[in-house]
Amino acid sequence: MQQTEYIITVTDLKKSFKDLEVLKGVNFKVKKGSIFALLGSNGAGKTTTVKILSTLLKPDGGRASICGHNVARDGDKVRSCISLTGQYAAVDEILTGRENLRIIGALRHLADKNEQADRLLEQFRLTDAANKQVSTYSGGMRRRLDIAMSMMGRSPVVFLDEPTTGLDPQNRLAMWDTIQTMADTGTTVLLTTQYLDEAEHLADHIAILHEGVIIADGTSDELKEKLPQGIIQLQFKDAAELQMARERLGAYSIRSGEGKHAIDIQTNGGTKQFADVLNRLNQTNIEPIKFAPKQPTLEDAFLTLIGEKKEETDHASC
């Protein structure tokens, strides 16, 4: 595979804030024209990584390049080929949507700023509200305008840091369509998110950042294939039976399931453990209203992988 396929490369990236080591050696690559999702819990280092890549922070160690330019040495060249949308919409509420876009175009010295503004207003479904003050916009409209502003100048790389935070389900789905459209037109999108369904739906490649390092990466299917367990879905008629089942199945890893009085049991996927779960329930005269194997999700993979990493860390510290 040729190096030119990658528009972002990150090698052994490190960053600390006083005594707090946030990034401990982060490594990943992003292909041109793809959607790359960086997953992690709060405090994992996602936003710090984005700030370094967008030249807002200096790394303490390691290397990163975007569009062939070194992030630490060639800040001006890097900034010329990226756009950044943060966790909260950075729009001027006094101005109209069109005026917000034109200002960005003027700051970037775009000769066709008016044409680009009109094109983006249409692309982001804001044409009808183009001449209204942004203070009248809904949260979803503001978020769309914010991302449209990042697209002024047709930057080849766009960073979206938690782009759907605070949006209702309808606007989240609309934002997914917008992000997919960006990639379909050739833009490389690096997306940070805590929403696993978002990464599973959008991303061509996913990296899991945990405690300052990438602990796994691949496609959604590849990450799910890392799961050694077979998951069994159980649902009970009331809270009392659920509690009895939890106690009886305490030898297994148990997580809350989908629906009321539901749990997911993690097994090794073998028939012996499948039968053992049934036997344990039968011995207490509990009959679940649902007993079915479950196809692994990205959430299952994420929770399992960070859980395994935590166990390794705990054992190492003993």
- Let me know if residue 306 belongs to a domain: no
Residues 144 and 214 in one domain: yes
- Let me know if residue 302 belongs to a domain: no
Percent of the chain topping pLDDT 70 = 93
Mean pLDDT score, 39-60: 92
> Residue 149: which pLDDT band, with cuts at 50, 70 and 90?
confident
- Let me know if residue 318 belongs to a domain: no
Residue 229 is predicted with a pLDDT of 59
Residues 159 and 34 in one domain: yes
- The number of beta carbons lying within 10 Å of the beta carbon of residue 109 is 8
The total number of residues shown for the chain amounts to 318
Residues 218 and 241 in one domain: no
**Rounded distance between C-alpha atoms, residue 200 and residue 13, angstroms:** 25
Which SS3 state, helix, strand or coil, does residue 130 take? Answer: coil
Residues 159 and 242 in one domain: no
Residue 89 is predicted with a pLDDT of 64
What pLDDT digit, counting tens, does each position of 57-80 carry? 999 999 999 999 999 999 999 998
Residue 164's domain is classified under what CATH number?
3.40.50.300
- Let me know if residue 258 belongs to a domain: yes
- Let me know if residue 303 belongs to a domain: no
> Residue 315: which pLDDT band, with cuts at 50, 70 and 90?
very low
> Residue 3: which pLDDT band, with cuts at 50, 70 and 90?
very low
Which SS3 state, helix, strand or coil, does residue 266 take? Answer: strand
Domain boundary among 189, 224, 259: 224
Q: Does position 82 have pLDDT exceeding 60, yes or no?
A: yes
Domain boundary among 196, 224, 252: 224
Residue 12 is predicted with a pLDDT of 97
- Let me know if residue 98 belongs to a domain: yes
- Let me know if residue 193 belongs to a domain: yes
Pair 78, 52: CB distance under 8 Å: no
Domain boundary among 224, 257, 287: 224
Residues 100 and 239 in one domain: no
Residue 95 is predicted with a pLDDT of 94
Residues 218, 178, 142, CA angle at the centre, nearest 5°? 120
- In terms of DSSP bridges, do strands 205-210 and 35-39 run parallel, antiparallel, or are they unpaired? parallel
Q: Give the residue ranges of DSSP H helices in 203-238.
A: 220-224
Residues 48 and 152 in one domain: yes
Residue 308 is predicted with a pLDDT of 60
The predicted model scores a pTM of 0.76
Residue 8 is predicted with a pLDDT of 97
Q: Does position 159 have pLDDT exceeding 50, yes or no?
A: yes
What's the number of domains the chain is made of? Answer: 2
Name the nearest CA neighbour of 190 among 179, 176, 178: 179
- Let me know if residue 301 belongs to a domain: no
Q: How far is CA 185 from CA 32, 35, 39, 44, in A?
A: 11, 12, 24, 31
What pLDDT digit, counting tens, does each position of 226-271 carry? 765 588 899 999 999 999 999 999 999 888 888 899 999 988 878 8
> Residue 313: which pLDDT band, with cuts at 50, 70 and 90?
low
More confident residue, 128 or 311: 128
Residues 120 and 248 in one domain: no
Residues 6+ apart with CB under 8 A from 307: none
Residues 218 and 287 in one domain: no
Residue 318 is predicted with a pLDDT of 44
Residue 289's domain is classified under what CATH number?
3.30.70.790
Residues 217 and 246 in one domain: no
Residues 105 and 147 in one domain: yes
What pLDDT digit, counting tens, does each position of 91-146 carry? 889 999 999 999 988 988 889 999 999 998 998 889 999 999 999 998 888 888 98
Mean pLDDT score, 211-237: 87
Which of 73-82, 137-146, 288-297, 307-316 is predicted with the least confidence, judged by mean pLDDT?
A: 307-316
Q: What is the average pLDDT score of the chain?
A: 87
Residues 209 and 279 in one domain: no
Residues 235 and 220 in one domain: no
Residue-number span of the structural domain to which 110 is assigned: 3-224
